[in-house]
Chain A
Amino acid sequence: MEFMDLKEIQSSLPYLPPFLFVDELQHVDEVSAIGTFTFKSTLDFYKGHFKDIPVTPGVILTETMAQIGVVCLGIYLLRNEPPNRGQFVMTSAAVDFLKPVLPGEKVTVSSEKVYFRFNKLKCAVKMQNSKQEIVCAGTISGKIIKS
């Protein structure tokens, strides 16, 4: 399969709500990916993070960056490989958090491939809010694991 459209990549993602953090994949090519997610204010974790002050947890922001920036890009890079090749799991993340993401905010994740070799995909990833401000950025890697 040479051609793979964005919807096809999204439907290949190995997640379901409440742990699917990709609303719209907007662009993917050999070296980059862009997508969006809106953190609905009804999401369960806002009840506890933090008590009375709902803020999106950094681990969830990191997961969102990994799903859009690493896994969507990885699925595209594997498009010509056999379907049983395995799936990407996160192996490391170094992320700086610059601004809080509040309930209801829509974020855009963009990632650039640093390298994809020996089954490891390393990406430079950033997340921006609707004002185009960078809310977090860093380096996230994933590795293909046989499922």
Chain B
Amino acid sequence: MSRRRPKPQLLPAALLAAAALYAAFLLRQALLPFLLAFSVAYVVNPVIDAVEARGARRFHVVLGFYLLAAAAAFVLAQYLLPLAAAEASHLRSLTPAYFAKAQQLAADLHVGAARRLARSGLPFEKLSAQALASAAEQLRLLPSYLLGLFPLISLLFLVPFITFFLLLDGRQLVAALIQACPGRFVEAALHLLSEIDAALGNYLRGIVIVALAIAAASYAGLLLLGVNGALAIALLAGASSFVPYLGAIVGALVGGGAAFVQTGHVGAGLQVVALFAGIRLADEALLQPVIARRSVHLHPLVFLLALMAGGEAFGFVGLLFAVPAACVVKSLLKVGWEWYLSEARLGAGPAGRPAAPYT
């Protein structure tokens, strides 16, 4: 078979990708609601599709879903949110006691450590004061960290609005993209879209399942352990788990601290830490194999690098979207490489395998 096509040029594609990445970095604030809406649409879309396949008009299905979601939000606002707020308020009221306990613990440690370090000749008093000052400074800044999340509240209104149109017209957008693609490359474009779709969809739906499972398991576990503010801590752990591994860590720290303050025993805090370690292990053993089976596999080092790079470049939002972005990049590279091989070595075919004459 004769070669009729020029060798594919990778450099322009790489430059284009770099330019797109830089543009995304510059527009990161504006892109945030779209990214969140895109993620929500990915998670919700199978439900909409399932109803639409039964013959309903998509507009009606999406509208019906929004009405149901609004009703669910109303029920949450009426019953669950006041409960969670009361629990959060209770936890806040325990904060001075928490600090007192922490100071007591630090003082106990101080005595023991001072004895040991006095013998070593290190300036223990100075080191201890510096450490405490640094910790106090970080604690003082904690409210400002939390206030920094308040702009996200505006997203509560913007994201559903954008999601509505993505759910309604998302398929038309893809169709327009396919129509704009040169005829010869439609199959390659579909290949790319399909890879990205599978990688992103499975990851995003998987992480929602993980978040719900962590929230439910930690709520049940904290109730069994008799920890006050179980619902608020469970919601916090569930929400934090959208950043990989963070949910169990946040749950263990906040829940363990709350249990320690409540009972005055370190053992109670350690029980909560053990609970979250168990939840994390169960997630790894039971959920991740099912989720990872249908998702793009990332090497742990790539996973870590993606998280660090995402956090460095885009802050908290970068942490949220680092793994999906890495999945997309991996899909792009995979499809690009396959395309390069098929274009560059076309006609060679696998050794010993006959090319059947078909269309």
The judgment on whether A and B are partners is no
Question: A residues touching B (Cβ–Cβ < 8 Å)?
Answer: none
